[in-house]
Chain A
Amino acid sequence: MTLNRILATTGTEFRIAVRNRWVAIATALMVVFALVLAAAGAAPTGDVGVDRLSVTVASLTSLSVYLVPLLALLMSFDAIAGEVERGTLPLLLTYPIPRVEILLGKLFAHLVVLTLAVGAGYAAAGAAALLVDGASIAGLPALWRLTWSSVLLGATFLGAGYALSALARRPSGAAGLAVGLWLGLVVLYDLGLLAAVVANDGGRFTTEVFPLALLANPADAFRLFNLSAAEATAAAAGVGGAAATIPLWQSAASVLLWPLIALFLATAAFRRVRP
């Protein structure tokens, strides 16, 4: 009964996503970017002692940190503000369905779209790597880990997008907030941390606050998790050093917990909307 109600919303939202070309756009984007990275990874890079696919996974991780949150926010910012603007929300809220079920219905639909896009992109990159290098089979577990953690990262930013959508109540305002959140968490946050680490020069901030700050950001936790889990750590520069100091279970916990936190925030924000 409850599941049927949630899936009713999911079916409708998925249909809308197909008709709005979101499925096509997201999938094409992921496939094109993944193939570009696979091609770049296939160029002779010297012998780093790892298979092609593991190198590609490391590149895909860096790509997905930017692209998956962006796609998720683009799909979600309109979810509630759009209903308010179209005038469809009051009627929906008179139906015997809790608000959290409306959100879950939308979340499932958008997650399906995101999974299709991410899955198609990673599969294309994986196939390209396997064609070039038979040893790439060794990298398949890392690719699988990247896939499901990307979906969870997407879920986190979908939830955040719904929360912003409910807070803004207008699509234009929600779009602005979504861009702000993306810039803040995915771009500026790392720059800020980098600056702080450089200024701190190995002091208490670098050893105690910095690891926590990485775990607190869902995008950083995602990158950390995939890089520290993969044998490809050596192939990646950047946060690889930091990744070594943080236990794998901590970044995994952050990756797993953030979708729930985001959904909780979205529900709280949606409950405050008075049509």
Chain B
Amino acid sequence: MTSTLTISHLTKRFDGFTALNDVSFSVAPGSRVALLGHNGAGKSTMMKIILGLIAGDGGSITVCNAAPGSAEARAQVAYLPENAAFHPALTGEEQLRQYLRLRGENPAQAMALLDRVGLAHAARRRIGTYSKGMRQRVGLAQALIGHPRLLVLDEPTSGLDPVSRRDFYALLDGLAAEGAAILLSSHALTEVEARTDHILILSKGVLVAEGALVDLRRRAALPIVMTVVPQPGQGADLAAALPGAVPVGGAYQITCPQEEKLALLGRIATLGVADLEVTPPSLEDIYSHFSRRDGQ
């Protein structure tokens, strides 16, 4: 299966500042890839290069078997900018009709697209009266035009409420199932965790980690946290039996490396325990681990 997007040894410099340094990765059809990184890590620069809005200084990129920014690539790539903006004097429907016509599609689809993002009720109101979340949904609707093969989404869920976010990811799942490749950047790490197949972590322009979440979790080898709730009156004994346990509220928290997890669980089971919770390292932990390792 050929990749929808292939980037190899991409480098971009701005007046002596290296925004992207030797970045290589590829995105396969039907995969949902999250691009993570702190502010200024190079996420938006990378997206602009993929879209052909700016040119890279070194390395090569192939977007849908074409050069980024070529008419061929642009016909197959959809983009949702961070803080999607539109002319305030137009209605949502008028704006979408224009975008449909620019892509050579039937403008009559505008209402159906707005309905798909839950905006049909406001279609005839001017975008100037929309909230940030509604503008974001207009942006999403235009990204759905004409079955794109690659969707580049910059912070797509910013400004969306939790229900809209869930709907949004359900939409993405449908697109990915149809074979579209999705590259999205996000700060909301917990939702990315559940909703993407592959994670890229950028730090200061360098790709510091890449892989499925389980792989990253294993490679980071971060400790597991167990929260133990003692049976009534057993707290002191439990604390004595588990050196290093930190009291948190009525419970105790203890951390251990991945490989000692089962042994520790066995020991805890013999103590007077009312409840036990095992928390694997979250994406936040993994993300900070990889982005800090690079001198961050």
- The interface of chain A, by Cβ under 8 A from chain B, is 1, 4-5, 7-9, 11-12, 15-16, 19-20, 86-88, 90-91, 93-98, 274-275
Contacts and interface: CB of A to CB of B under 8 A. Distances in A.
Nearest to B83: A87
B53 A12 contact: no
Contact of B87 (A1, A86, A90, A274): A86
Given A4-B101, A88-B85, A275-B53, A96 B75 contact: yes
Given A15-B90, A87-B85, A88-B85, A95 B101 contact: no
Contacts of A96: 71, 74-75, 102-104
A105 to B, nearest CB: 9
B34 to A, nearest CB: 20
Contacts of B89: 15-16, 19-20
Given A20-B89, A95-B102, A97-B102, A87 B94 contact: no
Interface in B56-102: 71, 74-75, 77-79, 81, 83-87, 89-90, 94-95, 97-99, 101-102
Contact of B54 (A1, A16, A274): A274
A95 B103 CA distance: 7
Nearest to A4: B101
B51 interface: yes
Nearest to A16: B89
A1 B48 contact: no
A275 B85 CA distance: 14
A94 B101 contact: no
A98 B85 CA distance: 21
Given A20-B89, A86-B87, A9 B98 contact: yes
A94 B49 CA distance: 11
B53 A93 contact: yes
B53 A274 contact: yes
Nearest to A18: B89
A203 to B, nearest CB: 52
B98 A8 contact: yes
A95 B104 CA distance: 10
A94 B51 contact: yes
A207 to B, nearest CB: 51
B74 A95 contact: yes
A114 B293 CA distance: 61
Given A16-B89, A274-B53, A91 B84 contact: yes
Contacts of B97: 8
Given A7-B101, A90-B79, A93-B53, 6 more contacts: A9-B102, A12-B87, A87-B85, A96-B75, A96-B103, A275-B48
Contacts of B84: 91
B81 A91 contact: yes
Contacts of A87: 81, 83, 85
B79 A91 contact: yes
B56 to A, nearest CB: 13
B102 A8 contact: yes
B83 A1 contact: no
Nearest to A98: B71
A75 B281 CA distance: 57
Contacts of A12: 87, 90, 94-95, 98
Contacts of A15: 89-90, 94
A5 B85 contact: no
A53 to B, nearest CB: 39
Contact of B101 (A8, A90, A93, A275): A8
Nearest to B76: A96
Contacts of B71: 96, 98
